[in-house]
Amino acid sequence: MTSRDDILESIRASLPRVDRPLPHVPMFDEDPPASLLSAFKDSLERMGGIFLDPPASGDVLAPVRVKVASAKVVCSTVPEIAGNRDIATVSATQELADVDFAIVRASFAVAETGSVLLSETDLNINALAYLAQHLIVLLDPADIVVNLHHAYRRPEFRERHYASFHTGPSATADIEGVLIHGAQGVRSLSVLPIARIYQPQPTSPQEKKHD
Amino acid sequence: MTNSAEQLPGRAMLHPEMVAAEDNQAMYRDGHRLDHAEGASKPLRSRPEPQPRGAKIHGNRPIDQAEAAARFIASPEHEKMHDERLWDLRQKRDREMHHIPEWEQLRSLASAIKEHTLTHLDEYLDQFEAHARANGIHVHWARDAAEHNRIVHGILSDHSAKSLIKSKSMLTEECGFRHYMASVGIEVIETDLGERIQQLDKEDPSHVVVPAVHKLRTDVAKVFADTIGTDPENSDVHYLAEAQREATRPLILAADAGMTGGNFVVAETGTFVVCTNEGNADLSANVPKLHIASIGIEKIIPRLEHLAVFVRLLSRSALGSPMTQYTSHFRGPRAGGEMHVVLVDNGRSERLGLEEFWTSLKCIRCGACMNTCPVYRRSGGLSYGATYSGPIGLIIDPTFNARKYSNLPFASSLNGSCTNVCPVKINIHEQIYAWRRELVKRHDVPLVKKAAMKAAGELLSRPAAYRAAIASADVALAHLPRFVIYNGLNAWGKHREVPHPPKQTFHSWYKANRGGTQ
Ligand code: SF4
C-alpha cells in the first residue's frame, strides 16, 4: 500500500464520531472606519511601515524620487517611475541581490492590518520584494478593502500562484525583544497612495473590483 | 508591572536603548515605541550570566523537567528576562484582543472550523492534493519522520542539491531533519534569526515562535563570536542582527534549494500559507528554483474564507501584533521553478483516534499558552527536553513517547490560563489532567504525583468549584504562580497562604515539586 493510502486509511479508522458542521463566517464589516485610507495608514505605521504623504506641491511621485535619489540600483516594475535595472533582463533571481530600491504596485491593501498584497503579477520576479534593501509600494486608494474577510474574497488568491501580504518591513525581535527592521528581507517598506494610470495586467474578467 | 492592556496601540514607552539611532521606523509618529513583530513593549535589561542548558536526555528514560528547571531558576538573569519577555507578549496579546470586539466569536469559529475539518480530514486532504496537483505542485505523503526525511533527501538528490536554506518549522524539528541531512552531507541553513542562533549553538528551539527567547544578548554574542566571527565583546543587538544578516545572505544566494513549513493549507484552492516576520520564508521559497514545503496533515482548512479567521487570530495571539509582517500564499510553482509539498502524518492520524486528546490537533502553534504559563516562563522551553514545550507540549509530547515524556504533564499548575488564551479553544488544562490519569494507568508515576492527581480530579469534576478556584489565577499570573501553591490542585499545594514575596513563593513551589515532598 502507498503511504498516501496508509495515511488516509489510518485517518478514516480514527475519525472522531461526532457531528461538527462547518460554521458560517460573517464579514465583520458592520462598523467600517470612516476612511479606509487613513485606517490603512495608521495600521501600516504601527507595523513599522512608512506612509508617503502626497506633498503639497501636488507632485505625487516626489517623495519616491527623493528616496531613490542617491541609490545605485533601482528596479521598478511600475510605469509611473523608471529605475536603472530592467527586470525583463534579469534571468536568475540572484541578479537582484544588489538592488537598493524596488518599486512595485500592490494588487490591493487591507485597512485592518495595514497590509499590501504583492503577487507574481506585481513583482515579475518574486524574490525582488525580498532581496532589495528597500521596498516602495504604490497603492491605489481605491484598492483598499476593510478587513481580511473581504481580502480573502479577492480573485488574486484563486488566480495567482504566489501572493504575499506585506505588513511593514522585515522585522525581528528574536534577541531580548529588541525590534530590528531588516532581519533578512527589506529594511524599509514605504507605501505611496497613487491611483493606477494603467489597468493591471488582466488575468481574468473578474480582475475588476469586488467591493 | 503596568497593565498594557489599557495602553493604546504603539503607545508603549520609547526607550532610547531599544532603537537603532537611524531607525526612525521603530518609532510611531508621535514618538512612541513600536512593538510589533515580537518587539518588547519595554526595555528588558540583563547582566551577563552563563546560559543554563536544557534537560538532560538519557535515551528513553523519563525527562526530569524539574531538574532542568532548577538550573534555569538558578540563573536569575535568564529567568527574569525570560519571564518578563513572555509575560510582555501575553499582555500585548490581551491588548490586541481588546481591540477586536468579535474576538471570542473568532475563537469559537476557529475551533469549529478546525473540529469540522479534523472530523473530515481524509476528504479535505484529498481535495487539497487534487487542487495542488492541478496547479503543478508535486504532492508527497510521509507516514513518519523517517519517511519525510527520505522523501526530501530524494527530491534534493534528484536536483543534485547540496545546500538547503529553510525557514523555521516545528515539523522538521519533530523529524530530526537537520541531523538527518547532516548525515547525508547536505548543508542546512536556518534563515530565521532565532532559529539560526539555535542552529549555530547546536541547541533545539525553546519556543515555537521565538526559538532563542531563553538566551540573553550576551549568550548570542558568544555564539556568534564562535561561529560567524563577531566581536565577542560586542553584544549590541543591532550589531548582532546585522552581522547575521551579512553572514547568511551569501548562503541564501548560493543555496541549491529552499524549504518552508506551512501554517495553513487550503483544500479548495490547493494553497499553503506561510507566516513569518523576517521574510526569510519568502527568501527560502523564492530565491532557489526548488521549493519544498513540509506540512503536518492537521494544518488543513476547507476554504479561503476560513483563512481570514485564523490569520486574524494567529499573530495577535502569538505576539500581540495584528498580523505577521509576511503572510504568503503559495498555490503553485513560479515560472521556471519547481514546488513540492510533503504531507506528514508522524502520529497525527493516531492522535485523531484518541477520544480525550484529538482536539489537540486544532493547535495553530501560536505559543500563547506557553507565554502565559507560569511554569514555562520560569523554567524555559529546553527544560522539557522535547520538541514541543509548555502546555501544548505537555499534551502532545506523550503521544510521541509516553515513557520518555511521562513527567511532563505534571509540569503544570492546572490554572487554566492556557485554555483561556488558546485561539482555537483547546481544553489544554483538562487534557493535561487527562494525561496524568492516563500515565498513572500506564506507567510508574511517583506517589506524590498520584496524590496531586486525586486533588485535581476532585476539583475538575466540579466545574463551578474549579472556575471559582481559577478565577483569581490571571491576576496572580502577572507576577508569580502563587496560585500554583494555594490552589490545592497540586502535590505542592499543601502549603498555607503565608505572606512572603512572590519570588519566594515560586521557589517554594519549585522546591516542593522538585523534592517531591509536601
Ligand atoms: S495550544 Fe492553543 S495556545 Fe497553545 S500553541 Fe496551540 S493554538 Fe496556541
State the Cα–Cα distance between residues B233 and B183, nearest whole angstrom: 34
- Greater confidence (B464 vs B182) lies with B182
Q: Is A15 exposed, middle or buried (0-12, 13-18, 19+ CB in 10 A)?
A: middle
pLDDT in tens, B408-441: 888 887 888 899 999 999 999 999 988 888 888 7
- Which chain B residues are Cβ-neighbours of A163 within 8 angstroms? 328-329, 331
Candidates B18, B311, B312; nearest CB to A179: B18
Q: What is the pTM of this model?
A: 0.87
What does residue B266 show for φ and ψ, rounded to 5 degrees?
-105, 115
Tell me the nearest-neighbour CA distance from A112 into chain B, angstroms: 8
Please give the share of chain B, as a percent, with pLDDT higher than 90: 64
Residues, chain A, total?
Answer: 211
Query: According to DSSP H, which parts of B22-75 are helical?
Result: 65-73
Quote the CA–CA distance of B1 and B477 in Å, as a whole number. Answer: 12
Q: What pLDDT score does B32 carry?
A: 66
Q: What is the pLDDT of residue B28?
A: 63
Answer yes or no: do A162 and B109 touch at CB < 8 A: no
Q: Dump pLDDT digits (tens) for B271-296.
A: 999 999 999 999 999 999 999 999 99
Q: What whole-number distance in Å separates Cα of residue B299 and Cα of residue B376?
A: 25
Q: What is the C-alpha radius of gyration for chain B, rounded to an integer number of angstroms?
A: 22
Comparing B458 with B357, the larger pLDDT belongs to: B357
Nearest-by-Cβ selection for B277 from A23, A151, A172: A172
Whether B370 contacts B389, CB under 8 Å: yes
Contact (Cβ atoms closer than 8 angstroms) between residue B326 and residue B333: no
| Domains located in chain A, CATH noted | 33-195 (3.40.50.10420)
Q: B424: which 3 cell numbers?
A: 482555537
Nearest Cα to B210, choosing from B370, B92, B72? B370
Query: Ligand 1 center to residue B367 CA distance, Å?
Result: 6
Interface test with A, best of B329, B338, B345 (most A CBs within 10 A): B329
* Cα–Cα distance for residue pair A128/B153, rounded to 1 Å: 28
Nearest-angstrom CA–CA distance, B197 and B203: 9
Residue written as cell 469559537? Answer: B108
The closest-lying atom of ligand 1 relative to the alpha carbon of residue B208 is: 5
Cβ(B34)–Cβ(B79) under 8 Å? no
Q: Is B368 in the pocket of ligand 1 (CB under 6 A)?
A: yes
Cα–Cα distance between B355 and B213 in angstroms, integer?
34
Instruction: Give CA–CA dist A15/B298, Å, rounded.
Output: 12
Ligand 1 in contact with B394 (CB < 6 A)?
Answer: no
Ligand 1 pocket, residue B367 CB under 6 Å: yes
Nearest to A102 by CA among A138, A76, A130, A64: A76
Q: Which of A101, A94, A53 is nearest to A75 (CA)?
A: A101
pLDDT at B467: 53
Chain B residues inside the 8 Å CB shell of A175: 193-194, 197, 212, 215, 217, 220, 237, 240-241
- Cβ distance B295 to B171 under 8 Å? yes
CA-CA-CA-CA dihedral for A25, B426, A5, B261, to nearest 10: 80
Assess contact for B489 and B413: CB atoms under 8 A.
yes
Nearest-CB residue to A177 (from B88, B308, B335): B88
Over residues B486-508, the mean pLDDT reads 35
Lowest mean pLDDT among A31-45, B79-93, B417-431, B490-504: B490-504
In chain A, which residues have their Cβ closer than 8 Å to the Cβ of B26? 48, 179, 181
Distance CA B271, CA A160 (A): 10
In 3D space, the residue among B261, B106, B237 whose CA is nearest the CA of residue B172 turns out to be: B261
Cα dihedral angle (B4, B10, B14, B18), rounded to 10 degrees?
Answer: 100
Strand, helix or coil at B163?
A: strand
Distance B364 CA to ligand 1 centre (A): 6
Question: Exposed, middle or buried, B454 (CB in 10 Å: 0-12/13-18/19+)?
Answer: exposed
State residue B60's pLDDT score.
85
Whether the predicted pLDDT of B3 surpasses 80: no
Task: Search chain A and give the residue with CA nearest B320.
Answer: A47
Atom 6 (ligand 1) nearest CA: B363
Q: Which of B78, B133, B286 to probe the A interface (max A CBs under 10 A)?
A: B286
> What ipTM describes this predicted complex?
0.93
CA distance A133 to B242: 13
Nearest ligand 1 atom, CA B418: 3
CA-CA distance, B68 to B76, in Å (whole number)? 14
Residue B141, helix vs strand vs coil: strand
User: Which candidate, B116, B305, B279, B426, places its Cα nearest to that of A158?
Assistant: B305
Cβ distance B114 to B306 under 8 Å? no
Containing H/E element for A145?
Answer: strand A144-145
From A20, A97, A179, residue closest to B112, measured CB to CB: A20
Edge to edge, the sheet with strand B290-296 lists: B138-142, B338-344, B290-296, B257-260, B163-166, B187-190
Contact B349 A11 (CB under 8 A): yes
Atom of ligand 1 nearest to the CA of B391: 4
For ligand 1, whether the C-beta of B393 sits within 6 Å is: no
3-state secondary structure of B140: strand
More confident residue, B449 or A194: A194
Write out chain A's pLDDT in tens, 211 residues: 799 999 999 999 999 999 999 999 999 999 999 999 999 999 999 999 999 998 888 889 999 999 999 999 999 999 999 999 999 999 999 999 999 999 999 999 999 999 999 999 999 999 999 999 999 999 999 999 999 999 999 999 999 999 999 999 999 989 988 888 988 899 999 999 999 985 545 554 444 444 4
In the predicted structure, residue B170 carries a pLDDT above the cut 60: yes
- Burial of B45-54, coded b for 16+ CB within 10 Å and e otherwise, reads ebeeeebbeb
Q: Which amino acid is at B247?
A: A
- pLDDT of B212 higher than 90: yes
How many Å apart are CA A2 and CA B343, to the nearest integer? 13
Who's near B391: CB < 8 A, 6+ residues apart?
B369, B370, B373, B376, B412, B418, B428, B429, B432
The cell for A47 is 507595523
Task: For residues A115 and B491, give the distance between their C-alpha atoms in angstroms, rounded to a whole number.
Answer: 49
Q: Return mean pLDDT, chain B.
A: 83
Among B206, B392, B418, the mutation site with the greatest number of ligand 1 atoms within 8 A of its Cβ is B392
Q: What is the DSSP letter of A108?
A: E
Which residue of B lies nearest to A95 if distances are taken between CA atoms? B253
